[in-house]
């Protein structure tokens, strides 16, 4: 009898992490999840109840000692655990540095002690700042806010552990992931959560700027497939950009959803377009996106009722929620 390899997923009860759990189980792995449930939800894994190949530990990664039992016998690690959102990072930068940098260091030390064969870091394309497009992996790094900086510092920590300790590390820089199980509560942020609640309430969509800005949206199951490929790859010390390579405008999203819109001010420090050059990940890992934007939005629409208890945003509440953003990011107005 062949023993299954074990893959540990930090943040495995979260949006992307829970889909990664599905992907790994379907690929024949035994899966361990580490999550403190500050952003993730047990409900994201409820459909897997009773699966003997899944083991969950609800703990903060910063509390794990290097010899943590949950890492014993683990073959591969995919590290999603962290905190996101731009505005809260401007308001609480120490929290972001603590979770996204020190939390990553704890996960790296656990992986080093366990002797894992691969550690894959979930990085963010926000490290590029206001980037040229399509954006390659060698684009200059220009973080615009603490969230972006903290995620890049976490990535640099991972590669430092690769350099100094020989830990086999790869990093995947996610552009704009979307899909089912995306967070429905919390800070003002992801466009899907804002728009879906507005659609449910019959309210106009709050479009930032003129809506022509575009994002390289990639459906979450494609994201998970790419991370599994990075975890299984014989390559190490690599960075890959991850997107669909096909940016979609906010106005196109509204066309698919249907309904009226109102406009709110464009925010400083946000790019007009995000667009991943996915040449490298396609070449190295044989990965390519499978889910079209239209199909992905349709799948989310089938579950729109999950947003019934989400916050309802309007121009006034958005202005209040982003006040700190404008205060610290509007460099031209401040001069």
Query: Which sequence positions are flagged as catalytic?
Result: 147
Q: How many CB atoms lie within 10 A of CB 288?
A: 13
Q: Which helix (H) or strand (E) holds 191?
A: helix 191-200
DSSP helix/strand/coil, 196: helix
For every residue of 67-136, DSSP letters joined together read: T-GGGTT--EEEE------HHHHHH-HHHHIIIIIIHHHHHHHHHHHHT-SEEEEEEEGGGG-S--SSBP
For every residue of 219-268, DSSP letters joined together read: EHHHHHHHHHHHHH-S--SEEEEES-SS-EEHHHHHHHH---EEEEPPPT
């Amino acid at each position: 009898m062949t023993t299954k390899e074990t893959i540990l997923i930090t943040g495995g009860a979260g949006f992307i992490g829970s889909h990664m759990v599905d992907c790994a189980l379907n690929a024949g792995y035994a899966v361990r999840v580490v999550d403190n449930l500050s952003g993730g939800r047990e409900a994201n894994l409820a459909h897997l109840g009773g699966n003997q190949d899944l083991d969950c530990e609800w703990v903060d990664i910063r509390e794990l000692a290097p010899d943590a039992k949950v890492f014993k016998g683990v073959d591969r690690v995919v590290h999603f655990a962290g905190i996101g959102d731009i505005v809260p990072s401007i308001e609480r930068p120490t929290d972001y540095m603590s979770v996204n940098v020190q939390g990553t260091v704890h996960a790296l030390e656990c992986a080093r002690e366990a002797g894992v064969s691969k550690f894959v870091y979930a990085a963010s394309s926000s490290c590029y700042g206001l980037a040229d497009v399509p954006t390659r992996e060698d684009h200059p790094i220009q973080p615009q806010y603490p969230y972006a900086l903290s995620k890049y510092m976490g990535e640099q920590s991972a590669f430092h552990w690769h350099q100094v300790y020989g830990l086999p590390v790869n990093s995947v820089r996610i552009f704009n992931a979307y899909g089912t199980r995306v967070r429905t509560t919390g800070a003002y942020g992801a466009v899907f959560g804002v728009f879906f609640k507005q659609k449910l309430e019959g309210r106009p969509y709050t479009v930032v700027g003129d809506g022509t800005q575009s994002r390289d949206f990639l459906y979450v199951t494609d994201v998970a497939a790419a991370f599994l490929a990075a975890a299984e790859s014989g390559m190490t010390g690599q960075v890959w950009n991850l997107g669909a390579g096909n940016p979609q405008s906010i106005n196109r999203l509204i066309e698919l959803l249907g309904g009226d819109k109102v406009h709110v001010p464009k925010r400083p420090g946000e790019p007009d377009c995000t667009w991943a050059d996915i040449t490298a990940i396609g070449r190295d890992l044989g990965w390519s996106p499978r889910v079209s934007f239209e199909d992905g939005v349709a799948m989310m629409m089938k579950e729109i009722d999950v947003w019934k208890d989400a916050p309802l945003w309007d121009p006034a509440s958005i202005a209040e929620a982003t006040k700190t953003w404008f205060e610290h990011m509007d460099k031209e107005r401040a001069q």
